Amino acid sequence: MDDAELSADIDTALYPDTPADAATIRHWWESQDLGWTFERFVALAPNGERVGLCWLRHQTWSADSERRGFINGDFLPAYRSPLHLDAMFEFIEGRAAADGAKVVLSDCRDDDRLALSLLAARGYREIQRSASFRIDLQGTKQRLRELAADARSRVAARGIRVIPLDRLDDPRKAEKLWRLTVQGWRDTRSFVPYTYSTLERFNAWLASPAFHPDRSWVAVSAEETVGVCIMSYQANARVDVAWLTTARSVRGAGVAHALRIEAFLQAAELGAAHILLGGVWAEWMDMRFLTSLSAVRTPATVQFARYLSIGKAHVGC
């Protein structure tokens, strides 16, 4: 079992409603932006069994004057305890501090009482909370068809077409998607400033085994690409929105809505049971739209930060 398989096994065992895929995790690790430090450490049981995993990643300090390090870790359920988690975070925080981090960030689901208790006891404070939803695609398929027809006519009236990415006949499409993505990241609210990826790294990210050009969508106006929705289809049948953004020039024109409706309808037609929406993808959606599709709220993701100069208490056994 490699680290990616262990990570997927831990996540899926702890959160079976959002199963993880080893191939997708492995590719994400391998396509990290240049200039980032990424370290992983495995926890071993006395018998040598691999039972836990923790990691640290951060930008070069010249790109982040606040010196923020991202950390996290967990265990398989049989080995997950306050004592073990506290020891793991003590270790990975120490690695971050030794590497020069001044603040560490971590996250967990808002229904994970053990993780919430651990982070609070170690002096972390909540800085951001992202809503999450699940949409039943088969139960809303007819509604999606109606919404798609309406969305197509609305954007067509502005001279915009929404088509699958594999039908975009443009020799510069990779560059255009990259530039659109950089602009989108600049406009995305985040506690940590974004370090803009190179075209090479962007193309490496797009090569994920979960991404398929015929299942992602772009919006085109004349010769310009003005929107993109990258969908993630993991081997375990999980379907997510991996990335969605539009050009500033068309925001408010219904382009983002048209992109996601086409993507959701296609997933439904392909037989996907549901789609998971989290982070900014959920926050950017009108609640009336989510309600019309009978979206069910699922556990939110909570991001925490802790300054390493502040003392901490430990979680008891």
Confidence tier at 188 by pLDDT (50, 70, 90): confident
pLDDT per position as a tens digit, 213-256: 999 999 999 989 999 999 999 998 999 999 999 999 999 999 99
Q: Which region, left, alpha or beta, applies to residue 2 given φ > 0 means left and ψ of -120 to 50 means alpha?
A: beta
Judge whether 3-130+301-307 and 138-272 match in fold.
Answer: yes
CATH topology of domain 3-130+301-307: Aminopeptidase (3.40.630)
* Encoded tokens for 177: 């998607």
Which percentage of the chain shows pLDDT scores above 70?
A: 92
Domain boundaries, the chain: 3-130+301-307, 138-272
Residue 117 has pLDDT above 80, yes or no: yes
**What is the structure's pLDDT at 278?**
78
Q: Which CATH class, in words, describes the domain spanning 138-272?
A: alpha beta
pLDDT average, residue stretch 14-32: 93
